Copies of this chain bind each other. A is one copy, B any other.
Amino acid sequence: MKLFLEVVPVGDAVAAIRRIAPPVVAETVALKDAYGRVLARDIIAGEDIPGFTRSVVDGYAVIAADTTGAGEAMPAMLANTGRVAMGAPEEQAIAPGECRYVPTGGILPPGADAMVMVEYTEAVGDEVLVHRPVAPGENLIARGEDFAGGDVVLEAGRRCSPRDLGVLAVLGVAEVPVAARPRVGIISTGNELVPVTATPGPAQVRDANSSLAAGFVTERGGVPVPYGIVRDERAALEEALATATAACDAVLLSGGSSKDERDICAATIGDAGEVLIHGIAIAPGKPTIIGRVGPAPVIGLPGHPASAYVVLIAIAGPLLAAMTGEREVVRSVAARLTRNIASARGREDYVRVALDGEGGAVPLFGKSGLLNTLAASSGLVRVPASREGLEVGEEVEVLLW
């Protein structure tokens, strides 16, 4: 029986989990369902957008040179040739000395090279007086100015925002190629655990880690598949692990927090498949297991909720990113530490912090068995393995939840 784990650096653990991650599976979804999905391939403009030169104002299409020198005292006088209809082609060209009304968004007639805003004009009979000069190209969007045909507009690995949905719409991408959502099985073990619906007995607690993991998997684009609470016994655990790894693309096994429980988890994973890593140089979260059963990666999470969450962020996050192809976008803000953080060299420490709204990051030193500091925190500050701590006043990067 080994009392101390042989730990590996966080970077090695991340590399290992990426190496065994199942490949991205592409599927298509209707544009209306693409919000929050990860693009499975680059989106390329199939044509110039817009496909014609459009006005961005209500006013008159002109030949810019006809307005040179125009002013309040000496307006340019142009022949009004009517108005273009929205959405209809406009084949009749503008000749020198002519103008034509174009509403915002309408097509410029051939020959016209600028728009004069209606506010700077005055219609007098069949003539339009223009009180300001315009330069060629003024007040219009040229054909292809938004996106040119052939441009890569959105890159694979991007998670679709509302703004991206607008881009996909103008490009005509009604069916969006996205990564299928990986199915991630979630098993909790621990003989002290009872389900959320139960009233805990004198030495029992409700299972928090299943819900933490399910929420995290959803947030990162997967589908959580709950397998409930399994007793800390080899036979029960073997059966649950076999079922989950057969049905899911990956499994998160919240493995209890005691050494006995960790050992049972590791032995069960090892017998059903292989244990690649048992112990990571991360705090909290050291007793993490990385293994594989068949093609399915299995992460053994520590039992303490805050430890489990740090490992979800640090290890399960890269796994889900690999399985969805999502480019990892770190949301972070710079802040100044309001207290010292002690650490140990050779280990990455993740400290929960709250932002105080005045540029300060307040370390929350709650025990990793507690949920209250996890819920109250804004994110994590990472203390690199090369440092022995961080000092009050030091500028740090807060990795936002």
**Would you call B369 and A56 a contact (CB within 8 A)?**
yes
A334 at the interface (CB under 8 A from B): yes
Q: Are A203 and B166 also in contact (CB < 8 A) when A260-B103, A370-B141 are?
A: no
How many Å from the CB of A84 to the closest CB on chain B?
8
* Nearest B residue (CB) for A368: B56
**Would you call B118 and A166 a contact (CB within 8 A)?**
no
A200-240 contacts to B, CB under 8 A, are 200-216, 218-219, 224, 226, 232
Complex Cα distance, B201 from A51, in Å, reads 8
Kindly list chain B residues whose C-beta atoms are within 8 Å of the C-beta of A87. Answer: 190-193, 201, 203-204
**Would you call A215 and B163 a contact (CB within 8 A)?**
yes
A353-381 contacts to B, CB under 8 A, are 359, 367-372, 374-375, 377
A119 at the interface (CB under 8 A from B): yes
Q: Are A202 and B257 also in contact (CB < 8 A) when A146-B370, A193-B87, A370-B145 are?
A: no
How many Å from the CB of A123 to the closest CB on chain B?
12
**Would you call A215 and B162 a contact (CB within 8 A)?**
yes
**Would you call B197 and A54 a contact (CB within 8 A)?**
no
Q: Are A258 and B147 also in contact (CB < 8 A) when A163-B374, A201-B89, A367-B56 are?
A: no
User: Beta-carbon contacts of A83-107 to B below 8 Å, as 1s and 0s?
Assistant: 0111111100000000000011111
Kindly list chain B residues whose C-beta atoms are within 8 Å of the C-beta of A168. Answer: 196, 211
Complex Cα distance, B171 from A200, in Å, reads 10
Kindly list chain B residues whose C-beta atoms are within 8 Å of the C-beta of A309. Answer: 162-163, 166
- Which residues does A use to contact B, with CB under 8 Å? 3-4, 31-32, 35-36, 49-52, 54, 56, 58, 84-90, 103-107, 118-119, 141, 145-147, 153-154, 160-174, 190-193, 196-216, 218-219, 224, 226, 232, 256-261, 303-305, 309, 312, 331, 333-334, 359, 367-372, 374-375, 377, 400-401
| A and B contact pairs by CB, cutoff 8 A, 28 listed | A3-B118, A3-B119, A31-B196, A32-B211, A35-B214, A35-B218, A36-B218, A51-B202, A52-B202, A54-B369, A58-B260, A86-B190, A104-B259, A105-B256, A107-B202, A107-B203, A146-B369, A147-B371, A153-B372, A154-B375, A162-B215, A165-B211, A165-B212, A165-B215, A166-B209, A169-B212, A171-B206, A334-B334
